Chain A
Amino acid sequence: MELWLGAIGCAGLVGALYVALLVAPAAVGESVAQRILYLHAPSAFAAYGCIFVVAIASAVYLWKRSEAADRVAVAAAEVGVLMCTLVLVTGSIWGRARWGAWWTPDPRLTLTLILWAIYLSYVLLRAFGGDDEEIAPYAAVLGIFGVLAIPAIRVSARLMKGMHPSVLAPREGGSGLADPSMKLAFWGGTVAMVLVAVTLVLLRTRLERAERETNALRRLADAAEGVGG
């Protein structure tokens, strides 16, 4: 199933990018680089989607101690970090093209940066914290806390904007999408990117399961060896 989803997702992305780059008219008063929005915004949707999946999966894990939920959380966190990185990189390129600055204090970008950091720390906790079984509850709490912090991050990011009032970030895909082909590129791209993200999460979940089973078997083998030898 993942294969189909992935194929559709990728095809969708290619299609959306084709429309974005070649078919859609340029937005008023913007350069070619504006078209990176068609990659930037869909990635943002996918990133936030992943982050909510981490939070929900973490809550399910804490409630039901379901190992499957834990695996999904791990996978979604990694894909979420990946998507956030994409958002940050495309946002940075766009900012550079438009205003000559590699970083703009756009509240949404700040939110993404902080969420990127939070879920990166989730990934690092799982990588270096020790046994999966042991740290799963701790990581789950982190996964939930990340989402709980979002309202505070949004408000405080706007507080920071006060420092550079002259730099105004464009509203993502707001009133700027006049032409229907722009809408197609935007929303088509979003759907496609979400499908790609879902595919990655499913694949990563399966990989995680295989990894854990292998580790368990390895430990049993070690134990048996110890007794016999």
Chain B
Amino acid sequence: MRATLAIVRKDLRIEWRTRETATTLAVLGVLLVTVLAFAHDPDPDAAPLLVPAVLWSAMVFTGLLGVERGFLLEREQDCLAGLRGAPIDPTALYAAKLTVNVLLLGATHAVVVPLTGLFLHVDLWPVLPSLAVVLLLGTVGFAAVATLFAFVTVRLRTRQVMLPLLVLPLLIPLLIAAVKATEAVLGRGLGGAPDALGVLVSFDVIFVTAGALLFPAIVKD
């Protein structure tokens, strides 16, 4: 645990110093919301229906581009060897990168959500707590899968294409549930979508656990 916190702090410090990833992701999120909103050009009545799709498309898009950063930075100066040579549990590395990715995506949400509300004529403020819960659950599930495979794809030649290819099919159930839950939040409230919530929570539990258990097996050499 101490190792996880140390790595998270280290990553955040590097991010703070360079500010690369958070800014690029936020800008990308803004661009995507703009494109989606304007391309659809919906009537003010129909617009709120688009909110779930826009929010989650933005997360997937920015997430796929952002999760590799955590492992890319370990490739410089062979820092991964430094981490693997330390007497720490390999799971700590996974947990740390997962945490940082969730935080970065959270920062992106903080920019995307207000903008979506603005363009699609929806007042998201009253439902913010429930929306935040759904965003958190969906983001954790996404990061659990994407972080693990980012470790893989960072080391492959065909990198850019591979990550979406490997990760998107697995994430379809999560995204369906996230969209359903978001719809519920905007409509009758979170209680109206117990199944979707169930999928989100169980997906998170299953894949964070599986990721933590299986990560040491792939970080071996």
Question: Is A–B contact present in the complex under a CB 8 A cutoff?
Answer: yes
A114-B157 contact, Cβ under 8 Å, with A62-B214, A144-B214, A155-B195: no
Q: Map CB proximity to A onto B167-193 as digits: 1 under 8 Å, 0 otherwise.
A: 011101110110010000000000000
Q: Can you list the 4 inter-chain pairs with the closest CB atoms, starting with the nearest?
A: A117-B169, A152-B173, A156-B173, A156-B176
- Which residues of B, 196-214, contact A by the 8 Å Cβ criterion? 196, 198-199, 202-203, 206-207, 210, 214
User: What residues on B are CB-neighbors of A129 within 8 Å?
Assistant: 156, 158, 162
Contact B207 A121 (CB under 8 A): no
Contact B176 A159 (CB under 8 A): yes
* Interface status of B166 (Cβ within 8 A of chain A): yes
User: What residues on B are CB-neighbors of A114 within 8 Å?
Assistant: 169, 172-173
Quote the shortest CB–CB distance from A78 to chain B (angstroms). 16
User: What residues on B are CB-neighbors of A124 within 8 Å?
Assistant: 165
A159-B177 contact, Cβ under 8 Å, with A137-B218, A138-B218: yes
- Give Cα A149 to B176, complex, Å: 13
User: What residues on A are CB-neighbors of B173 within 8 Å?
Assistant: 114, 149, 152-153, 155-157
* Interface status of A99 (Cβ within 8 A of chain B): no
* Interface status of B39 (Cβ within 8 A of chain A): no
- Give Cα A135 to B151, complex, Å: 12
User: What residues on A are CB-neighbors of B176 within 8 Å?
Assistant: 156-157, 159-160
Known: A117-B168, A130-B156, A144-B210. 8 other contacts (CB 8 A): A120-B169, A135-B156, A141-B214, A152-B199, A152-B206, A156-B199, A157-B176, A159-B180
- Give Cα A155 to B196, complex, Å: 8
* Interface status of A165 (Cβ within 8 A of chain B): no
Contact A148 B169 (CB under 8 A): no
* Interface status of A18 (Cβ within 8 A of chain B): no
> Which residues of B are interface residues toward A (Cβ below 8 A)?
145, 148-149, 152, 156-158, 162, 165-166, 168-170, 172-174, 176-177, 180, 195-196, 198-199, 202-203, 206-207, 210, 214, 217-218, 220
Cβ contact of A145, chosen from B165, B202, B210, cutoff 8 A: B210
A141-B217 contact, Cβ under 8 Å, with A152-B173, A159-B177: yes
A158-B214 contact, Cβ under 8 Å, with A118-B169, A138-B152: no
User: What residues on A are CB-neighbors of B177 within 8 Å?
Assistant: 152, 155-156, 159
Which residue of chain A is the closest to B141 with respect to CB atoms?
Answer: A152
Quote the shortest CB–CB distance from B195 to chain A (angstroms). 6
A118-B180 contact, Cβ under 8 Å, with A128-B158, A152-B199: no
User: What residues on A are CB-neighbors of B196 within 8 Å?
Assistant: 156, 159
* Interface status of A37 (Cβ within 8 A of chain B): no
A118-B162 contact, Cβ under 8 Å, with A141-B214, A141-B217, A158-B195: no
Q: By CB atoms of chain B within 10 A, which of A140, A152, A155 has the most?
A: A152
